Structure 1
C-alpha cells in the first residue's frame, strides 16, 4: 500500500525539522487521533511526552470557554424559553417535540456559518408573510397565530442563546460562534502554540475562520488529504471544498496546498458487486472475509469494513466467520436497534394504550412475547407470560383488566409494575422501567451474561438521564411526549463495543474512516439515498434562502460523501464495493451514482470489475405432496374408522385427501386466536345452540301458533347466553359484537317468522333436535369395523313426511343440493352439502323406518329461498337413492382404508 496520509504528515514535519512533541494536532475526529498516536510512537527515537492531539470540536470548545449541552437538555431549554415567549397560544410539549428538533438544527446551522440571526430569521418571517395561504385581506385567527410564531423566531433565538450562555453551555453552532468571538484573546494567551490541522474537507464558516486565523497569526500549518486527480478536475465533487479554499483563502495567494498526492490512479483492484437485500450483503461480506482469511492469516491487519448504512451492523456481526477472532468495532450500536429497546417501547405503548376497559389483548400479547418479558416471567412463581396469553385466547378476552389479573398471585408484584392499577405519570413509568431493569439484572447476573448486563446498564443510565430532565422542569409531559424523548435518546445513545483499536478487522461508519487508510476496504450499501444520502428536508429554511446565505444544502452534503468515498479508495489496493440490487423504498434507491462514476471513468475503469451476486434460482415444478400409508398410519385409520366417519371428515377427503390426513387423522387443529370479529364457525355454533334451546320444549309436539308465539321474544336472551358461553371475554353491548349479536337475533327471528307462516298451510311436528346417530357399516372387504356417525340438526314431520334439516349460516344455492351425475358426489367438493344430507338421511333410515324421506338445508344467508331440498334427477330420497349413495359412500371409505392408495394433495 502507498504511504498512509498520517505517515506522510509526520514524515513531512520531520523533514521540516519540527519537534513533533511540541505540536498540537487538530483532527476531524477522535478516532484518527488514536492512529496518529500509533504512528508517532513508531517514529520517535527517544522517550518523550505525546504531543497534544485534539478533535476539532474539543479544540473549538476550548477556545469558546463553553461546554456542549446534550440534545435533550437543549430541547427542554428551548421549550422553557418558548413557553415564556409572548406568543399568545403555545403548543404543548408533545406537539413542540415535532418541530423543536428541526428549529434547533436550523439555529445550529445559522451559528456554524456565522450568519447574523437577525437577518435570516426576519427574512424567513417576511417570506412566510408573503407565502401565507389566505387570499383574504383580513387574516384569520389561525393565520395570525401562524405568522406570529414566525415573527417571534428572532426573539426566541436571542432568549434561548442568552439563557444557554448564562449557564456556559451551548449547542455546536453556538460554541463555534462564541469561539470566533474569542479568537483574538485566545491567540494572545496561547501565542506560542504550533498547531497542525490534519485532513479536513468540508469546513463550516466558523471552522474556516478559525483555521485561517491560526494560519495567519501563529506558527501553524494545515495538511489536506486530497488527490490531484480530484483537485485538478474543475467539476469533480470530491475536490469541491478544497478547490474553493485554494481559490478563496488569502493564505493561499502566495502558498501551495500541502498534502496533495497522486495515488488514486495507481494499480488497484476495485470489485463492485450488486447483492439482493441487506441480509445478503452481510452474508456476502462474510464470504469476502473468509477469502481474505484463507489467503493470509494476518490479512486483517490492514482491512476496514465500512458501513454506509449503520443499521447493517447487527447482521454483519452475525455474518463474520468464527475464525476471525480480532475485530474492533468503532461505531456503536444505536440503542434503538436492540431487542431491549423494543421491550421498553412495547411496555410504554402498553401504558399509553391503557383505557378504562383495561389493556387491549394485542398490546398485551406483543409485550408478553418479548424475550425479556419471558425471562422476567420465568423467574416468578407463576409463569404469567405463558398463562395470560392462554387465558386470553381461551376466553376470547379482548381487554385484560385487574379482575382478570388478580388471580395470578404468584407474580403479583411484577404484574403491578407491568399493569399498574392506576394511570401513571411519566416519572412513575420511568421508575417502573428501573424496577424491571433490576429484575433483569438479577437474572443476567446469575447467567453471567456480560452483553445483556451492558445493555441493561446503558438503558439504566438513559432512564436516569430522562428522569433527571423531567424532574428538573415543571413540564410534567405525558407518556406520549416521553415516548418521543425516549425514541430520540435511544437513537443518539449507543451500545459501545470494547476492542483493540489498532489491530484486527476494523468495522466503522463512513465518518470514522476520516484520515485513515487501509490496504483492503469493504464498503457496503453503496446505494442512492444512503451514499450519498440524497435530499432531506429537515429544515424550516427554504433551499433558495440557504443558497443566498451560504448555508449548505443537500448538494454540499453529496460532495462531502463523494469526498469520503474517493478518499477511502484512493490509497487502497483491494476495494470491495457492495450495493443492494433490491432496495426498499425506505432504504434508498438504485446503485449509487458514485458507482456509475467509477464505471464510466476511463482513467480508473481498467481496474474495476462489476457483477451481480445472487443466489441461484431454480424453478422446479413443486411435486404433488403424497403421504403413503405405513402400517402405523393404517392403524390410525382403523381407530378413526372404529370411532366413526363423520360427513364433514368425508367431505374433507373429497376436497383434499391431504387435508383429511392433517385434520382428521393427525388432528392438527387451527391455532386458537382471539376473535376480534366473530369467526364463521363460532357464528354457526351460536346459531345452532340457540335454535336447539328455543325448540327443545317443542320436541314431539305439533307446532301451533300458541306454542311458537313467544319464540321470537325469547330469542335475544337465548342468543346472549350462547354468545357469552362461546366468547366469554367479549362485550356485546358495543362495537362489532353488538352488530353480530343483532344479526344472529334477526336471522333467528326471521326463521321463526317463516316457520309460523308455514303453519297456516302445513302441519309440522318436531321429532328430534341435535340427534346423534351412529351406524355400523357392513363392509366385508375390510377386516376391521367401520362406523358412520353424525349429528342431525333437526328432524320433523311436515304433513306426515319425515324431513331432515341441516342449518347453514353460510350461503347455499339450490344447485349445491341437487345431483344429476352421481360421480360428482365423490369428485366435486361443490356437492359436499348434498353429500352431507345423504349421510344424515342414510343414518336416519338405518335407525327409523321412514319412507318417503326428505332432507334439505335452511341457509340463513338466503332464508328467502326457504327449505332447499335434496333431490337427484327430480326424485327425493327413496330406497334406490339411499342404495346408490351407500355404494358411493363405501367406495370413498375403501379408498381411505386402502394401503396402496396414498393420501395425495388435490390442487384446488
Structure 2
C-alpha cells in the first residue's frame, strides 16, 4: 500500500522539485512528522529537510500574531465588556463566561470566513429588534438591556480585537483575517518560495483566499486527496468541498486538479460489528487486535480510530499484553484524572462561603486516595479518627476548628483543605498549590511506584500556576464560585500527553488526528449517529438562516467534514473494522451511523455485518454456606456461655448467616452518622424515657395522680435521652424536630392510655422495669451450658394477672403475636418472631422464679396504641376464633421443646450455617 503523502512526494520528485527549497503546509502537525519520515524514500542523497508547517503555523507567520489560550481570551474579552457596559448592567465574570464562550466562537467564525463585521452584527441587532417589536412604545428595562446588548456587539468586537492586536496576539479567526490582510506584502517579499499544500478538504474563506493567491502567483501547488467514487457522485458528501473547489476556483480552469484517485474501489475486507455498550466495544477492539497480532505481531500500519474519545481508557485497558509498540496521539483529559475529583470536591465545598461543612463532604475529601495517606501521623490514622468521631457523635456540620480538635496532629493538612478559602482568591489558590506540594512530598518518598501520580500533580500544578497568573494580571475572579468556573474551563481543555513512538506499532487516535494519514488496517469505533457524524448541534448566537446567507458553515458542512474523514480512512486501507454501539443512547449517540447504511447500499464491497454479543456465563446462584468445624464449635460454646438473647435467636431464624457474622465473627453493622434520627434511636429514647418514669413505682400500684404528674416531665426527659443517644445531632429543625415531637407524642399517648385504664377501675401494679435475665437451660444432648439472656421492658400485674410487656415503636398488629403450629415458631421469622421473643422472656422469668404461671405476655405498639396490650395467643387452627392467651406450664413446655431444637441446630457440627433466600 502506498500512502497519499508518498504519492505526493513521488510526483514532486518526478517533476524535479528541490525538496530543500519547498515549504509543505498540512492540516496538522502530526501529518508533518509522517511526511518527514517518508522523505528518505524519494531521495537518493543527503538534503536539507524542507520546511514543514501546519496551516495554523503558516497563518501565524503571515499575520505576525501569536495565538492566545481560550481562557485568557475570556479575561481579555471581559476587559472590553466592562469598559463598554454600565456598571449596573454588568454581569459577574462567572455569568459572563457562560455566554461569552458562544460569542467568541461566533467572532472566530466571522473572522475565519472574512464576513464584514459591521454588517453581520448590525443585522443580528435588527433581527432582535424585530423579534421584540410590539405596539407599546414603552419597553421594559429587561428588553431595553437585552436590545442594548445586541446593538453593542460590533462595539464589543472592535474594542476587543483592537486590544488583542495591540498585544500582537489573537484567536484563530483574527489570526486568519490578519493573515489575509498581510498576504500581498508577504508575497512581494517572499516571491522566491514554493509552497505545497496537501491533504486539505474543507477550507474557510481565509484559507481559500491565501491558497488561491499563492497559486495565482505560481508560488504554490495543491494536492487534494479524493476518490473518483465520491467525486463523481454529486450526492456524496465526502467530496462536497473538493467538487466546490474544482468548479469555483479559476486556477483549475487552466491547471490540472490533483488528485482524483481510484483506491476506494480496490478489493477490501470490510467488517461491521454491532456491539452493545462502550465497554463492549472496547473489549471487542482488544479481541480484534489480539487476532490481528497473530499475523502482524508489531501491528505496524494499524490504527484504532476512536469516534468517541471517552473510549480511550477502556480501550487501553483492553489491549492485549503482546503489544510492544504503542502510540497514542490523543491526550488523556485532565478532567478524567482522579486528582480532578479532589479539587472538584474542594471547590464545591467552599463555593458556598459557609464556615461549616456538611459531614459527607468532609468524609469524601479526607477519604480521597490522594488525601487519606497524608492524615497518617505517628502510626495513627487521623482520617479514621475524624470519621469515627463524626459518626459516634452524629455531627452533621463541622468547622475547621472542630476538625483540628478531633485530629490536632493533622492541623497543617486540615488548614490547607478547610481553612482560609473564603479570605481571598489568592489564599484559595495558595491552598491548592500547598496541597499539591504536600501530596508531592508524600509521593516522592516512594517515587518509583508513584511516577504516574507525580505526572498528574505536575500538570495540575501548571494549571493552578496559570490560574494564579490570570488572576494576578486581570483580577476578574472575585469569589470561589467564579474560580471554580474558570478552573473547569481550563480543565476541560487540558490533557496529559502520552509518550510513544509515533512511527512504530499500533496507533490510537481520534478522527481529526487521522487527517492525511493512511493505514493498511483500520479499526473505527463508535460509528453511531450523534458521534459520527455529530448531529445538528448549533452552539451559536447566529441564526441558521443568517449563516446560510453569509456562507458560514452549518451542521450540513460539519457532517460533510466527518463524511470526508471517515471515507478517506477507508480509501487506501485493506482491512477495515467498523464498530458501533447497538444500545441507542440519546446522550452519547443514537442508532448506527448513516455512514454504515451508506456503505451497505453502495454495493461496491462485500461487507461482513455481525452483531456481537458478549459471552455471559450462566452462574447458578448459590446460597452461602459455612461448615462448622471444631474450632467454630468452640466459638459457639463461648457465645452460648455468655447467653443467647431473644433477638440473636430470631436473627438466626431470619438468616443463619447473619447470626454467624454478628455473633461468631463479631462483625457489627456499621452505623453512619444519623442525619435524620434513625428508627432504633427513636425506640431507645422512648424506652429510656418510660424506664425513668416507671422505675420509682416498682412494687407499687399505679394511680391516676402518679401518671398525671409525669406528663409535665415529658419534654425534659425526652430531650435528655435524645441528647444521650443522638449526641450532637440537631433536633431543633427539619425532620429531626418532627421525630422529636413524635417521641413526645408516643410517651404522652402511652400515659393517656394508662390513665384511661386506671380511670376504668383497673388495678396496675409495677413489678419490674427493664428487668435483666440470665438463666441456664438444661439440654441433656449438649455437654456444655446454654444460657439465655435478655432485658424485659416491663412486668406488671393487671387486675391480678401478671403481664410481660415488650415495647415496640413500630407497627405491630394482634395477628403478629398469635401462633397455630408450635414447629413454625422457629422457622417463620416474619409471622412468629414477636411471639418467639415474648415467650422467651416468659420462659426466662419463670425459670428464674421472678413470676408464677399462668401469665400473659405481649406487645404494646406505639403505632397501634388504640389496640392496647397485644397478648400472645395460641390458636387451634388458622381459622379458629378460640384463643388461649394465658401462658401456662403447658405453653412453656411446648415452647421450650422448640427452643431446644433451635439451640441444638445452632450447636450441631453437622448442620452448617446456611444463608436463607430473603
Is the shorter-chain TM-score for this pair beyond 0.5, marking a shared fold?
A: yes
CA deviations 1:742-799 (Å, max 9, x no partner) are: 2212211221222223222222222111111122112212232222222101111222
2:350 is paired with a residue whose SS is helix
- 8 Å CA contact 1:66–1:169 kept in 2: the answer is yes
2:293 is paired with a residue whose SS is helix
Distance across 1 between alignment mates of 2:795 and 2:134:
74
Pick aligned residue for 1:861 from 828, 848, 863: 863
CA deviations 1:355-387 (Å, max 9, x no partner) are: 23x211111121122211123334777533332
CA deviations 1:650-702 (Å, max 9, x no partner) are: 22233233333333333333223222222222222222122222322222232
Partner of 1:907: 917
Partner of 1:483: 484
Distance across 2 between alignment mates of 1:640 and 1:452:
48
Distance 1:902 1:443, change over 3 A: closer
1:587 is paired with a residue whose SS is coil
Superposed, 1:198-213 pairs within 5 Å as: 198-213=198-213
Partner of 1:75: 74
CA deviations 1:303-340 (Å, max 9, x no partner) are: 22222222222222222233322212221111111111
- 8 Å CA contact 2:404–2:410 kept in 1: the answer is no
- 8 Å CA contact 1:381–1:411 kept in 2: the answer is no
- 8 Å CA contact 1:381–1:410 kept in 2: the answer is no
Partner of 2:880: none
Q: Which deviates the most, 301-310 or 430-439? A: 301-310
1:568 is paired with a residue whose SS is helix
**What's the CA shift for 1:180?**
1.6
- 8 Å CA contact 1:803–1:855 kept in 2: the answer is yes
Distance across 2 between alignment mates of 1:380 and 1:602:
73
CA deviations 1:252-298 (Å, max 9, x no partner) are: 22333202211112112122222222223222222222223322333
Partner of 1:452: 453
2:273 is paired with a residue whose SS is strand
- 8 Å CA contact 1:804–1:841 kept in 2: the answer is yes
1:901 is paired with a residue whose SS is coil
Q: Which deviates the most, 366-375 or 629-638? A: 629-638
1:50 is paired with a residue whose SS is coil
CA deviations 1:487-510 (Å, max 9, x no partner) are: 111111111122222222222221
- 8 Å CA contact 1:694–1:715 kept in 2: the answer is no
- 8 Å CA contact 2:677–2:726 kept in 1: the answer is no
- 8 Å CA contact 2:422–2:480 kept in 1: the answer is no
Distance 1:501 1:907, change over 3 A: closer
CA deviations 1:167-219 (Å, max 9, x no partner) are: 22211111111112222122111122211111001111111111111111232
Distance across 1 between alignment mates of 2:329 and 2:184:
36
Partner of 2:873: 871
Distance 1:526 1:649, change over 3 A: same
Partner of 2:879: none
Superposed, 1:757-776 pairs within 5 Å as: 757-760=756-759, 761-776=761-776
- 8 Å CA contact 1:193–1:218 kept in 2: the answer is no
Partner of 1:571: 572
**What's the CA shift for 1:132?**
4.0
- 8 Å CA contact 2:350–2:421 kept in 1: the answer is no
Question: TM-score when scaled to structure 2?
Answer: 0.95
Distance across 2 between alignment mates of 1:723 and 1:324:
63
**What's the CA shift for 1:135?**
8.8
- 8 Å CA contact 1:276–1:614 kept in 2: the answer is yes
Distance across 2 between alignment mates of 1:375 and 1:906:
40
**What's the CA shift for 1:624?**
4.1
Partner of 1:156: 156
Distance across 1 between alignment mates of 2:403 and 2:167:
52
Distance across 1 between alignment mates of 2:9 and 2:66:
31
- 8 Å CA contact 2:477–2:483 kept in 1: the answer is no
Are 1:507 and 2:508 an aligned pair?
yes
1:223 is paired with a residue whose SS is strand
- 8 Å CA contact 1:23–1:195 kept in 2: the answer is yes
**What's the CA shift for 1:11?**
0.6
Partner of 1:888: 898
- 8 Å CA contact 2:526–2:581 kept in 1: the answer is yes
Distance across 2 between alignment mates of 1:424 and 1:308:
45
Distance across 2 between alignment mates of 1:488 and 1:421:
24
Question: TM-score when scaled to structure 1?
Answer: 0.96
Distance across 2 between alignment mates of 1:400 and 1:10:
69
Partner of 1:43: 42
Distance across 1 between alignment mates of 2:121 and 2:726:
61
Partner of 1:897: 907
- 8 Å CA contact 2:13–2:42 kept in 1: the answer is no
**What's the CA shift for 1:514?**
0.7
Distance 1:537 1:700, change over 3 A: farther
Superposed, 1:581-620 pairs within 5 Å as: 581-582=582-583, 584-604=585-605, 606=606, 608-619=607-618
Are 1:656 and 2:645 an aligned pair?
no
Partner of 2:60: 61
Distance across 1 between alignment mates of 2:839 and 2:315:
63
Distance across 1 between alignment mates of 2:84 and 2:414:
44
- 8 Å CA contact 1:395–1:728 kept in 2: the answer is yes
**What's the CA shift for 1:435?**
0.8
Distance 1:500 1:404, change over 3 A: closer
- 8 Å CA contact 1:306–1:523 kept in 2: the answer is yes
Partner of 2:678: 679
- 8 Å CA contact 1:382–1:408 kept in 2: the answer is no
1:803 is paired with a residue whose SS is strand
1:323 is paired with a residue whose SS is coil
Distance across 2 between alignment mates of 1:375 and 1:567:
51
Distance across 2 between alignment mates of 1:724 and 1:193:
87
CA deviations 1:684-731 (Å, max 9, x no partner) are: 222212222232222223222333333222222222222222222312
Distance across 2 between alignment mates of 1:71 and 1:377:
38
1:900 is paired with a residue whose SS is coil
Distance across 1 between alignment mates of 2:306 and 2:134:
47
Are 1:18 and 2:21 an aligned pair?
no
Q: Which deviates the most, 431-440 or 700-709? A: 700-709
Distance 1:809 1:421, change over 3 A: farther
Distance across 1 between alignment mates of 2:431 and 2:164:
32
1:586 is paired with a residue whose SS is coil
Distance across 2 between alignment mates of 1:624 and 1:469:
61
Distance across 2 between alignment mates of 1:267 and 1:486:
50
Partner of 1:374: 372
Partner of 1:748: 747
Distance across 1 between alignment mates of 2:725 and 2:807:
18
Distance across 2 between alignment mates of 1:615 and 1:135:
65
- 8 Å CA contact 1:353–1:360 kept in 2: the answer is no
Distance 1:568 1:13, change over 3 A: same
- 8 Å CA contact 1:382–1:411 kept in 2: the answer is no
Distance 1:474 1:628, change over 3 A: closer
- 8 Å CA contact 1:382–1:410 kept in 2: the answer is no
Pick aligned residue for 2:361 from 340, 360, 363: 363
2:576 is paired with a residue whose SS is strand
Distance 1:421 1:685, change over 3 A: farther
Superposed, 1:715-730 pairs within 5 Å as: 715-730=714-729
- 8 Å CA contact 1:176–1:206 kept in 2: the answer is yes
- 8 Å CA contact 2:198–2:223 kept in 1: the answer is yes
2:247 is paired with a residue whose SS is helix
**What's the CA shift for 1:34?**
0.7
- 8 Å CA contact 2:514–2:569 kept in 1: the answer is yes
**Structure 1: tracts of 5 or more residues without a match:** none
- 8 Å CA contact 2:386–2:403 kept in 1: the answer is no
Superposed, 1:299-318 pairs within 5 Å as: 300-318=299-317
- 8 Å CA contact 1:97–1:481 kept in 2: the answer is no
- 8 Å CA contact 2:300–2:506 kept in 1: the answer is yes
Distance across 1 between alignment mates of 2:589 and 2:732:
48
- How many pairs does the alignment contain? 903
1:523 is paired with a residue whose SS is strand
Distance across 2 between alignment mates of 1:450 and 1:35:
30
RMSD of aligned alpha carbons = 2.1
Superposed, 1:175-190 pairs within 5 Å as: 175-190=175-190
